[in-house]
Amino acid sequence: LREKNYPKLSDYVIRRTLDLHRLGRSLGTISKQLQIPRSPVQYKLFRCVTTLPRSGRRPKLSPSHERKLVKIEEDVGPMASLTPNIETTSSSLY
Q: What is the pLDDT of residues 74-83, one digit of tens each?
A: 887 665 555 5
Distance CA 94, CA 91 (A): 6
The per-residue pLDDT for 6 is: 59
pLDDT value at position 23?
92
pLDDT, tens only, 4-61: 665 677 888 888 888 998 999 998 899 899 888 888 888 777 776 666 677 778 778 8
Residues 17/34, Cβ–Cβ less than 8 Å: yes
- Residue among 48, 41, 51, 50 nearest 16 (CA): 41
The per-residue pLDDT for range 61-74, each reduced to its tens digit, is 888 888 888 888 88
